[in-house]
Structure 1
Amino acid sequence: MIPFLDLKAQYQDLREEIEPAVLAVLASGNYVQGEEVARLESEFADYCGAAHAVATNSGTSALHLALLAAGIQPGDEVITVPFTFVATTSAICYTGAVPVFVDIDPETFNMDPALIEAAITPRTKAILPVHLYGQMADMDAILDVAARHGLTVIEDACQAHGAEYYGQRTGSFGASACFSFYPGKNLGGCGEGGIVVTDDDEQMRTMRMLRDWGQSKRYHHILKGFNYRLDNIQAAVLRIKLRHLDSWTEARRDRVDTYRSLLQGSRRVTVPTEAHGRRHVYHVFAVRAQDRDALQRGLLAAGIQTGLHYPVPVHLQPAHADLGYRQGDFPQAEAAAQQVLSLPIYPELTTSQIMEIVQAVEHSAYVA
């Protein structure tokens, strides 16, 4: 069986670095939001080219804090996309604001900037583009619309650690950017985690208070806050992995090059596009297939695990039926949801495994 993701292999490669760091935290007796968290914040901010970073207990919490720090309030509208993980929409809803969707570009799976202006109303306060699968959205066009309408831009970069847009790294656009450290991410912990980066001093101070029960100092609660703190063990692990992130990214990109060369001219799948000026970090290698579900079953029968990111767009999820959208409202997102299949992609994936996967894609029987 070729796994969709092999976190055990990553752990074995880093075991001699990770275990002493974790044991040192355990021996310290300082387990929540301590020195390791502060160091991670400084190092990750530097990595993104941002002034500040605020570590949280998940990427969802990071999105929630970023929206609140930007002043998003109940009744406001935030423009985003329906083809994303549900946390993007949920974080908007947590603030009491209303998610307003625009369709995606079918080539990149990211927000189509040409559709944003028509979605703006007097209640619109922010745009929340998602750098889906590890490729940045068209930030020049998005920032241009935002500037003309006085809107805040917050990046959902939860899948895009280290991605670049014309040489500028994600996390250095807009008011803030949010990342997830869920274990399967390109930079993932041994549990949950997240972080927000920003150049805004005031937003940084607000987020630091909000993540720790709204405290300015212990037992002095200035804001109605949350328990969104990151623990020191996760921070220690993430600091080690951050040192390897760029080499892992290059390994992912090398493996994508192998996939592309072997799948060139394929009649069964279409490989993803890397837009001009982008550095795609390939959190997910998502191909498109007309008979996606049957292909997925055929690959599983051949001993290859795959993923679906994402089979139901957010506007058609029962949990968000109250937003009032219907089938057909976002045809590009809906088509992608029916066709996209994620093939294995991780630094430890071997060339022989990729050859086996491609052979199965091209020649395995569809399974009804």
Structure 2
Amino acid sequence: MGTEEILTAAGVGSGDEVVVPSYATPGAAEAVRYVGAVPVFADIDPGTFCLDPAAAEAAVTSRTAAVVAVPLFGHPADLPALQRVAVRRGLLVVEHVEHGRPESPDPRRQANAACLDARLTGVLTPPVAPGVRHGYHSYVVRVPGNGRPDRDAFARALRSRGVGCRVPVQTPVHRMPAFRRELWLAETERAADVCLALPVDENMSRRELQRVVSACNALGGLLPAAA
């Protein structure tokens, strides 16, 4: 079942609040609103980019009925920790997957990611929680610096060297007009400013991977805003 069906079957609806991550697509928040409940945004874990269980618990009120976790970029959410929060607070935990079910990790993507992990310098490669298999649907790095201009200048320089890259989450959901909330989610804001998705497709050749490595390492991780 999809998130809407699970929430509806559990009796979640009008007057209820549901904790969701803001650093994600709006799908989880839309599902919550679809059943008549109110999405409440909580911060992410800086390592996994998924909903931080402590932040989720801090967002719980007397009206909270559920927590919706979203696996991001191929890294699963910390469902065991969220389940412990749910037990303490009497909540439902739902995993929201955009395409109906989690995708199985692709061994070639994992091999390509391992290659990048071993060779990249100047950017912070994606950490993986212990005991977790990262699917690397996106290979998301952090570009060191003091905010958006540094990451964006780095991305422009990569593209000029023939390396495709993209900002994985352009705007956190709590800053989108349809869901706008006046709140500060520190790790969410930081990720939105410094994260960049590098190519890691399963059909990439070793030469293409080396082009990514060479371009990133040549840039040194930080460029002036005017670059």
TM-score where L is the length of structure 1: 0.56
Query: What is residue 272 of structure 1 aligned with on the other side?
Result: 126
Q: Choose which of 328, 345, 351 in structure 1 pairs with 2:200.
A: 345
Q: Choose which of 111, 133, 147 in structure 1 pairs with 2:51.
A: 111
Q: Choose which of 313, 317, 327 in structure 1 pairs with 2:172.
A: 313
Structure 1 CA distance for aligned equivalents of residues 154 and 6 of structure 2: 39
Contact 1:64 1:95 in 2 (8 A): yes
Query: What is residue 211 of structure 2 aligned with on the other side?
Result: 356
SS of structure 2 residue aligned to 1:279 = coil
Structure 2 CA distance for aligned equivalents of residues 129 and 63 of structure 1: 10
The one-letter amino acid paired with 2:176 is Q
Query: What is residue 186 of structure 2 aligned with on the other side?
Result: 331
Query: What is residue 75 of structure 1 aligned with on the other side?
Result: 15
5+ long unaligned stretches in structure 2 = none
Structure 1 CA distance for aligned equivalents of residues 153 and 6 of structure 2: 40
The one-letter amino acid paired with 1:251 is R
Q: CA deviation at 1:364?
A: 4.6
The one-letter amino acid paired with 1:258 is C
The one-letter amino acid paired with 1:149 is R
Q: CA deviation at 1:311?
A: 2.2
Pairs within 5 Å for 1:115-264? 115-158=55-98, 180=99, 195=100, 249-263=106-120
Query: What is residue 26 of structure 2 aligned with on the other side?
Result: 86
The structure with the largest alpha-carbon Rg is 1
Change (3 A) 1:196 1:302: closer
The one-letter amino acid paired with 1:147 is V
Pairs within 5 Å for 1:11-90? 54=1, 62-90=2-30
SS of structure 1 residue aligned to 2:188 = helix
Structure 1 CA distance for aligned equivalents of residues 60 and 165 of structure 2: 37
Structure 2 CA distance for aligned equivalents of residues 131 and 281 of structure 1: 10
Structure 2 CA distance for aligned equivalents of residues 90 and 96 of structure 1: 10
Deviations 1:232-287 (A, max 9, x none): xxxxxxxxxxxxx75x6111110011001111xx2x21001011011111111000
Q: Choose which of 159, 166, 171 in structure 2 pairs with 1:300.
A: 159
The one-letter amino acid paired with 1:128 is V
The one-letter amino acid paired with 1:255 is N
SS of structure 2 residue aligned to 1:136 = coil
- How many residues get paired? 218
Q: CA deviation at 1:196?
A: 6.0
2:123 matches 1:282: no
In terms of fraction of residues, the more helix-rich structure is 1
> RMSD between aligned alpha carbons?
1.9
Contact 1:63 1:196 in 2 (8 A): no
The one-letter amino acid paired with 1:254 is A
Q: CA deviation at 1:105?
A: 1.0
5+ long unaligned stretches in structure 1 = 1-53, 55-61, 159-179, 181-194, 198-244
Structure 1 CA distance for aligned equivalents of residues 172 and 25 of structure 2: 8
Q: CA deviation at 1:152?
A: 0.8
Percent sequence identity is 36
Structure 2 CA distance for aligned equivalents of residues 319 and 115 of structure 1: 23
Structure 2 CA distance for aligned equivalents of residues 70 and 84 of structure 1: 24
Q: Choose which of 80, 96, 100 in structure 1 pairs with 2:40.
A: 100
